[in-house]
Structure 1
Amino acid sequence: MTDPSKYKFNHSMLRVKDPKASVKFYEHLGMSLIDKKEFPDNKFDLYFLAYAGSNSASGKNHWSDREGIIELTHNYGTENDPDFKPANGNKEPGKGFGHVCVSVDNIQAACKRLSDAGYKFQKRLEDGRMRHIAFALDPDEYWVEIIAQNPVDKTEDVQETDLGTYRMNHTMIRVKDKDVSIKFYEDTMGMQLMRTNENKDAGFTLYFLAYGQHPGEASSNGVNPGAFREGFLELTWNHGTEKENGKVYHDGNSEPQGFGHICVSVDDLDEACKRFDEKGVSWKKKLTDGRMKNVAFILDPDGYWIEVIQNEKYKQPPGKY
């Protein structure tokens, strides 16, 4: 048997041009390189970054038993290709994926630290009406939302920020039909709808889903509930897209490529895939396909890829984990 309450939203994958520049950016944001996997025969490497300090959400866990990981995929040679630029998901062609999000203790100091290091912003704190969020740009111009864990008016005169308190809070993807997508992520993937943020005047609604086994849902600022935890999936529904014909959003894996997938780790990989089969999922790759028998890929209603992997915590002998 498999128990969806034990599943975790493990990571989000982004293709990058230059891994040195990208790893440096995410390390400046306080993340650590917790694993690197090299595939020279296939000419790509994977870099796994996460918050791993003593105050992190799950820094002592095996990487497969964590949430809030960012996987950077580097295909050899792109760093020397002047024509290669990943699609960041926020403009056509290639609009679909939106951003990853980091929550911070002091948003003013955190943004100043990024700006002082020479990193650019899509939206600074002082831009527009929303003065409690910012969007930094990583070296490939992926959007990284910065949100506050604490009341913004109480941190504006504080000059310091503690990187050890940061969280990789969520990943955002746009969806065509919110009812179809929410049903899929709840019924099939086993997530829970934690909160909804409706913006009628702007014509969009945000839906935050997560696996509910972790603490940290409460937030003191009243603006960003859940800012102290990791592992949210944010679905953005632009009102009316459900009435459009055909596919509305780009999955990131056909040209132009950029975002690759989200990943869920499960308690029993074989049993979980049997369950997904019974749910009638569309498969991009079954466990039995190809040479890699330890991963599977499901397609969500918009065609986004969901990698499914084994959480090693549940496969270790007692006392060995």
Structure 2
Amino acid sequence: MATTTDTNNYKFNHSMIRVKDPKASIKFYEFLGMSVVKHLQFPNAKFDLYFLSYDGPTALSHGNSTFDRQGVIELTHNYGTEDDPHYTVNSGNAEPHRGFGHVCIAVDHIQAACKRLEDAGYRFQKKLTDGRMKHIAFALDPDGYWVEIISRRRGSKGAEDPEEQGVETDVGTYRMNHTMIRVKDAEKSLKFYQDVLGMKLFRTVEQSAAKFNLYFLGYPGSKGVPEDGFTADYEGLLELTWNYGTEKDENFKYHDGNSEPQGFGHICVSVDSLDAACSRFEALNVNWKKRLTDGRMKNVAFLLDPDGYWVEIVQNERFSGEENF
């Protein structure tokens, strides 16, 4: 195992969300082309973890070990929630518990992809034809989490694109493109994700009329940072949404997803050397939720970002040669 750490080796591995019924959730994400690549059972603690990723021959992380991937979704199921009629998750998009926003799937032909979802009976928060933005849609997973649908085609006009009509969609070409979280202070969050976690800024979208900015960050890997700002063909990006003025309100706070009502749990970064990475974080005076030495699980750590979102840190098996769990 490496005794030093290099942020160029880091990966935005997964985003964790809690689910009520794993069978229903897995069916939905498998319908979008994902596969369960790891299933961990903790019967004594009464919960299971399901890691889903794109695993087909055209997938960017095809064949990689679980923590050597990007664009993974981790579903956490606490036993018995599927039989509790009162159990619901917090999607992160309803006041006063907003924070986490959505995950995003990039597809080959967006009209066909959305029609396929609709024909299967899945609900939408925003259909492709709704509103002004005709190039994106938001499907709803079984728990009501928002799943943004975007096109991998450059210049796609979405609902108003004649080239999309009558074309079939291939789920084997989809990407788990990004995870969106809302942040109070863009400057502080950008500094944390770049200087502490080593991410690079891929793209900035300024919507001054609507008074918000979007920042897309990720690990460039072999593809590098896109020179033209086109990010729809990537996987494992982090989108920060900043609404102007929130940084000036000392009482303003986003919901981290882990205090009640729960929903989103954390994002996770895999590293080349867990010990060396955590030593580096310690030297950078980060805020910890859990150090490596805390608790029973000595193979994971959790940082806190400026908004209190949890950032899990795990060992990438490619550098250690052994499974984490």
Deviation of 1:215 (Å): 1.8
* Structure 2 equivalent of residue 302 of structure 1: 307
* Structure 1 residues 259-285: Cα deviation after superposition (integer angstroms, max 9, x where no partner): 000000000000000000011111000
Alignment of 1:200-239 (within 5 A): 200-215=208-223, 225-239=230-244
Structure 2 residue 184 is the aligned partner of structure 1 residue 176: yes
Q: For 1:44 and 1:251, how far apart are their aligned partners in 2?
A: 20
Give secondary structure in 1 for the equivalent of 2:164: coil
Q: For 1:182 and 1:216, how far apart are their aligned partners in 2?
A: 19
List structure 1 runs of 4+ shifted beyond 4 angstroms: 216-219
The answer to whether the Cα contact below 8 Å between 1:148 and 1:227 also exists between their aligned partners in 2 is yes
Give secondary structure in 1 for the equivalent of 2:60: coil
Deviation of 1:218 (Å): 5.2
Count of matched residue positions in the alignment of Structure 1 and Structure 2 = 314
Give secondary structure in 1 for the equivalent of 2:192: helix
The answer to whether the Cα contact below 8 Å between 1:32 and 1:49 also exists between their aligned partners in 2 is yes
Correspondent of 2:275 among 252, 267, 270:
270
The aligned amino acid for 1:225 is: F
Alignment of 1:145-184 (within 5 A): 145-150=148-153, 151-152=156-157, 153=161, 155-184=163-192
The aligned amino acid for 1:175 is: V
Deviation of 1:31 (Å): 0.5
Q: For 2:96 and 2:271, how far apart are their aligned partners in 1?
A: 33
TM-score where L is the length of structure 2 = 0.94
The answer to whether the Cα contact below 8 Å between 1:106 and 1:155 also exists between their aligned partners in 2 is no
Unaligned runs of 5+ residues in structure 1 are none
The aligned amino acid for 2:72 is: I
Give secondary structure in 2 for the equivalent of 1:25: helix
The aligned amino acid for 2:8 is: S
Deviation of 1:94 (Å): 1.8
Q: For 2:54 and 2:6, how far apart are their aligned partners in 1?
A: 26
* Structure 2 equivalent of residue 191 of structure 1: 199
Q: For 1:247 and 1:91, how far apart are their aligned partners in 2?
A: 15
Correspondent of 2:245 among 233, 240, 245:
240
**What is the root-mean-square deviation of aligned Cα atoms in Å?**
1.4
Deviation of 1:229 (Å): 1.2
Deviation of 1:217 (Å): 5.8
The answer to whether the Cα contact below 8 Å between 2:202 and 2:226 also exists between their aligned partners in 1 is no
The share of aligned pairs that are identical, in percent, is: 64
Q: For 1:284 and 1:164, how far apart are their aligned partners in 2?
A: 37
Correspondent of 1:134 among 131, 134, 137:
137
The aligned amino acid for 2:41 is: E
Alignment of 1:38-49 (within 5 A): 38-49=41-52
Unaligned runs of 5+ residues in structure 2 are none
Deviation of 1:58 (Å): 1.0
Q: For 1:40 and 1:278, how far apart are their aligned partners in 2?
A: 37
Correspondent of 2:94 among 75, 91, 94:
91
